[in-house]
Structure 1
């Protein structure tokens, strides 16, 4: 398994990766008022810390927690994280969706009252997280005004614009608040590059972090190959600041110089 030292190599690359991570992990925590929140949505991912914090916010706000996640690309990784965190004695992950697995933990281990839990168990990607969440709320006759959306920090920006697109034709769309629960960052500690000490446990392996980062930047682009209106049309236009674009190109160039690594990551 590659380390961050193998991939990142220089302080300049660490800076570039951190800038992209902060761009992707859109964080509205400074303006979230739990007293005004009437729904927390957690989009299924493999970082258990995001689900635990989403649960804590729903408890604090006294509002429903909607867990969105069927069986998708991250399901196996989520179930591995459940075992690594010691929840296997509480949760049966075999043949269970992401929402069901996390829901069991939320009630049994994190103290969420079961009546606050809503499960959406069919979505397999960000687009379906948004569309199926809207369908579930309509099915339940719910029209929340202020929704906090929680996702893997690397997919937070794309998830937010996807939710906004899903409600774009609504006469009274809710206000969405973006909360990745933490913003990832790399630091040099004891002569090696690693995650900042303030971050939660159970984070991405180095190769997966860089692969997700580069993949997200490619998807966000409004080009023929991207997810924007001029491409696949999954998301609205996203403006990528020149500074972030420069960081992205720098990381791409650096990885391209590492024999075999770019192919493995992309």
Structure 2
């Protein structure tokens, strides 16, 4: 039986998780009347679907694609996924940054032109994704007016506001768009709680998914413990709707005694 069933028992439990997930997978994409896209940025994670979508978007926009990601907490999972899919030889995986792995996938597997690839290979967290991306673009003399961000959907909102924060004092004004490749959604089928049909394969383990989404809400809060202006000042103020706080508290109670999920939620 799915590990989700260890945490989630009722439809109300599932609805609470789905509400949090949808809130985090913030979507703000260019409209037909928007200026042309100058740059697509993909922040490192372990979900291949996000990088492939970033490639497709950059191809359609005929613009550069920047992969941001060093060797961090998602790298091992990314390597395992690429290895399981037999997409790259082992020599392209050993001691490689997430940006290097995705860059190789983009050019060798998804046929993205090498000359339009930019790699940022030092960052190990969301804040560094933004900071080191800005430094890399400055080194190249690039000042994008518009950029679309791709990230793990559970971190899409935080990535979006972090990039806005880092760029607020930039010499150029960059308009960022947020493009979650999909919105994680759970459903109950034959008494088993699982990912909804139609989502990509190779998603997070249930425990990892729960720990990710539950770890995001405290970070987004603008209080002494959060990442907002009244806390660590990593991000601007984010308004968390009351219904999301209610959903968070509901799921928080469900996870109090469950291993790694509990550890991430309560720290």
Q: TM-score range by the shorter chain?
A: over 0.9
Q: Which residue of 2 aligns with 1:155?
A: 155
- Equivalent positions of 1:172-211 (< 5 A) are 172-211=172-211
SS at match of 1:167: helix
Corresponding residue of 2:262: 263
Counterpart CA distance in 2 for 1:259 and 1:137 is 42
Quick check: 2:208–2:261 contact (8 Å CA) kept in 1? no
Contact in 2 for aligned 1:29/1:178 (Cα 8 Å) = yes
Kindly report which structure 2 residues correspond to 1:109-188, keeping only aligned pairs within 5 A, or say none. Answer: 109-188=109-188
Q: 1:227 and 1:259, CA in 2 relative to 1: closer, same or farther beyond 3 A? A: closer
Residues 1:81 and 1:262: Cα distance change in structure 2 (over 3 Å): closer
Deviations 1:59-89 (CA, angstroms, capped at 9, x unpaired): 1111100000011111111111111222133
Question: 1:221 aligned to 2:210?
Answer: no
Cα pair distance change 1:32/1:264, threshold 3 Å? farther
Superimposed CA distance per residue, residues 12-71 of structure 1 (whole angstroms, 9 cap, x where no aligned partner) = 010000000000000124737798111000000011110011011111111100000011
Distance 2:220 2:154 in 1: 12
What is the CA distance between 1:259 and its match in structure 2? 6.1
Pair 1:47 & 2:47 matched: yes
* Residue of structure 2 in register with 1:63 after alignment: 63
Deviations along 1:79-136, one digit per CA (max 9) or x if unpaired, are 1111122213376211100000111011000010101100000111110100111111
Find the counterpart in structure 2 of residue 74 from structure 1.
Answer: 74
Closer, same or farther in 2 for the Cα pair 1:261/1:109, shift >3 Å? closer
Question: When the two structures are superposed, what TM-score results if normalisation uses the length of structure 2?
Answer: 0.93
- TM-score normalized by the length of structure 1: 0.94
CA distance change for structure 1 residues 225 and 116 in 2, over 3 Å: closer, same or farther? same
Using a 3 Å threshold, how does the CA distance of structure 1 residues 33 and 206 change in structure 2: closer, same or farther? farther
Residue aligning to 1:105? 105
Superposed, which structure 2 residues align to 1:248-259 within 5 Å?
Answer: 248-256=248-256, 258=257
2:31 — aligned with what?
31
Distance 1:158 1:32, change over 3 A: farther
Tell me how large the CA RMSD over aligned residues is: 1.9
Alignment of 1:91-102 (within 5 A): 92-102=92-102
Provide structure 1 residue ranges, at least 5 long, that are not aligned to the other structure. none
Question: Aligned in 2, Cα 1:148/1:32: closer, same or farther, shift over 3 Å?
Answer: farther
- For residues 188 and 235 of structure 1, the distance between their equivalents in structure 2, rounded to whole angstroms, comes to 35
**Displacement after TM superposition at 1:171 (Å):** 4.9
